[in-house]
Amino acid sequence: MKRARRRTLTATRCIDALSELVRAFRTIQISRGNHPWLLLDMTMAQLKAVMLLVQSGGLRSRELADGLGIAPSAATPLVDRLVDQKLVTREPDADDRRIIWIRPTAKSSGLYDQLLQQTNRPVLEEVLAELPTAERQKVYDSMLLLLEAAQRVMGRRKTRTRA
């Protein structure tokens, strides 16, 4: 009699499952016609820049250009428009005055949070409502573990960005 081999849970399987979950969330979101970013008075490049800057906590102009896939010379007028809209600030580097950091403002962070909440919360509510009540604690505990790991990664990245 053959024993069933127990499959080892690998990082790849976890990544694949999480990627599938994110894809499913996006599919639900799109099927609902939920696109609040269409109501913004911003170009796509401006929105992408704000998202990148808020996620990173700030970048140098060249890093922003690289992240957006644009020429460094194109980043300057883009940042000028974002400064005019009070979505970013330019800050000199504490150690090297030749370096200028582009930092998100509270306004852009609020916009970022609002967009994510408007697009994600209804989808998450609908999906979580499908879970049996008895299973919710397991999901919650797992999400807390993922959040703690993500916060450690973000903390390391912020430390490297400041260095």
In a domain, 11, yes or no: no
In a domain, 6, yes or no: no
More confident residue, 19 or 157: 19
More confident residue, 97 or 38: 97
Q: What is the pLDDT of residue 1?
A: 46
Q: What is the pLDDT of residue 154?
A: 82
Number of folded domains in the chain? 1
Instruction: Tell me which residue of 120, 109, 106, 124 sits closest to 55, measured CA to CA.
Output: 109
In a domain, 73, yes or no: yes
Q: What is the pLDDT of residue 159?
A: 65
DSSP 8-state assignment for residue 135: G
Over the stretch 17-71, which tens digit does the pLDDT of each residue have? 888 988 888 788 777 766 666 667 888 899 999 999 999 999 999 999 999 999 9
User: In angstroms, rounded to a whole number, what is the distance separating the alpha carbons of residues 96 and 115?
Assistant: 35
In a domain, 138, yes or no: no
Say which CATH number the domain at 49 has: 1.10.10.10
Q: Structure pTM?
A: 0.63
For 107, the domain range is 37-124
User: In angstroms, rounded to a whole number, what is the distance separating the alpha carbons of residues 114 and 162?
Assistant: 27
Reading the block at residue 100, the tokens are: 């200028």
In a domain, 31, yes or no: no
In a domain, 18, yes or no: no
pLDDT band at 7 (very low <50, low <70, confident <90, very high): low
Reading the block at residue 7, the tokens are: 């499959």
Instruction: Tell me which residue of 132, 123, 147 sits closest to 26, measured CA to CA.
Output: 123
Over the stretch 111-156, which tens digit does the pLDDT of each residue have? 888 887 766 778 888 899 999 999 999 999 999 999 999 999 988 8
Q: CB–CB of 34/122 below 8 Å? A: yes
